[in-house]
């Protein structure tokens, strides 16, 4: 009886080990980070244009282009196009769920492209991995560069949560991007995996497990610390963020300042992951003022 029980325990242990290795080496943990929602309703504003463009693999990607409605004009010249902000949204939903976070930019005089990665909204289905979503973000930038109503010398990026991965890397790769806004982003893939396992202050085991399950690469902390050419960066994080703990924002802030990045850090006291603008009604104005300053010279 004892022998049979012992063998059963060994078999269960081996099965658990195999499951762990499969989970670790097939990227299963990263796949858990993506929560796309299919189907996007038509925009409910005449100033929002539905647009389509292609990924490098030929997938059709969908987005909303926010034109500046009648209102403030921040063009430096009467015939100049307003600045354009490329928005990379978070890991869940689609453009219809994220429009409310950035529509203030259009009201304040900026054109905005908010797009869906592959498998999100009305975009074609495709494999969800960070490197592919970055390619989608690059494709969105390429699309903007081809629009006649976009001034390629007046571009900014805005990344929220997961979108901070792609916005920061895009800025690092493209010095023509003049302003960077990163909101509620994690510092690295392994650190956010450790936070998911061990909470806001993960211990040694959580960090070890995260290193086993989540590969490094395309980490915001590496992208941000490479922005040392003087371009302005605004980093925003809520102190009560339960999705991406505040420690991630502090880690990004400290690393960027040590590297000499032209960084502005905005802490939202009491702000959770998706409540920053509700908790702090002045945040929109902070972002607008930051961007106006970036495009003023």
In a domain, 19, yes or no: no
Residue-level pLDDT at 28: 65
Residue 211: per-residue pLDDT: 87
Question: Has residue 14 been placed in a domain?
Answer: no
Which long-range contacts does 252-257 make (Cβ < 8 Å, 24+ apart)? 252/182, 252/185, 252/187, 252/220, 252/221, 252/224, 255/187, 255/221, 255/224, 255/225, 256/224, 256/225, 256/227
Contact residues for 14 (Cβ-Cβ < 8 A; gap 6+) = none
Question: What burial letters (b/e) apply to 204-218, b meaning 16+ CB within 10 Å?
Answer: eebbebbebbbbeeb
Q: What share of the chain is helix, strand, coil (3-state, %, to 5)?
A: 40, 20, 40
Which residues in the chain land under pLDDT 50? 13-19, 21-26, 72, 75-78
Name the domain count of the chain.
1
Q: Is residue 148 part of a domain?
A: yes
46 inside domain? yes
Domain span at 118 = 32-294
Considering the domain boundaries, does residue 150 fall inside one?
Answer: yes
Residue 76, pLDDT score: 43
Q: Is the CA virtual torsion 263, 269, 271, 273 positive or negative? A: positive
Q: What is the pLDDT of residue 161?
A: 98
Domain CATH number, residue 195: 3.40.50.1820
Residue 3 lies in a domain: no
Residue 27 domain flag: no
Please give the pLDDT value at position 19.
Answer: 44
On whether residue 13 sits in a domain, the answer given is no
Give, in degrees to the nearest 5, the angle at Cα 10 between 8 and 12: 70
């Amino acid at each position: 009886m004892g022998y049979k029980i012992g063998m059963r325990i060994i078999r269960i242990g081996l099965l658990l080990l195999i499951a762990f290795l499969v989970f670790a080496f097939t990227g299963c943990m990263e796949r858990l980070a993506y929560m796309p929602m299919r189907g996007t309703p038509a925009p409910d504003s005449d100033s929002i244009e539905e647009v389509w463009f292609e990924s490098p693999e030929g997938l059709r990607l969908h987005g909303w282009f926010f034109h500046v409605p009648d209102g403030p004009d921040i063009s430096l010249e009467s015939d100049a196009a307003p600045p354009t902000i490329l928005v990379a949204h978070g890991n869940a939903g689609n453009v219809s769920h994220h429009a409310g976070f950035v529509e203030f930019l259009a009201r304040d005089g900026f054109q905005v492209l908010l797009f869906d990665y592959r498998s999100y909204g009305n975009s074609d289905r495709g494999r969800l991995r960070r490197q592919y979503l970055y390619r989608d973000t690059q494709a969105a930038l390429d699309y903007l560069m081809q629009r006649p109503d976009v001034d390629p010398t007046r571009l900014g990026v805005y990344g929220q949560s997961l979108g901070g991965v792609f916005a920061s890397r895009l800025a690092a790769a493209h010095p023509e991007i003049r302003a960077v806004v990163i909101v509620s982003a994690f510092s690295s893939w392994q650190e956010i995996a450790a936070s998911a396992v061990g909470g806001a202050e993960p211990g040694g085991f959580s960090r070890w497990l995260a290193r086993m399950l989540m590969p490094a690469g395309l980490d915001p902390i590496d992208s941000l610390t490479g922005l040392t050419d003087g371009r302005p960066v605004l980093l925003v994080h809520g102190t009560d963020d339960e999705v991406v703990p505040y420690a991630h924002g502090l880690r990004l802030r400290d690393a960027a300042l040590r590297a000499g990045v032209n960084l502005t850090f905005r802490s939202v006291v009491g702000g959770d992951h998706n409540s920053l603008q509700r908790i702090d009604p002045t945040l929109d104005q902070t972002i607008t003022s930051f961007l106006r300053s970036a495009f003023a010279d």
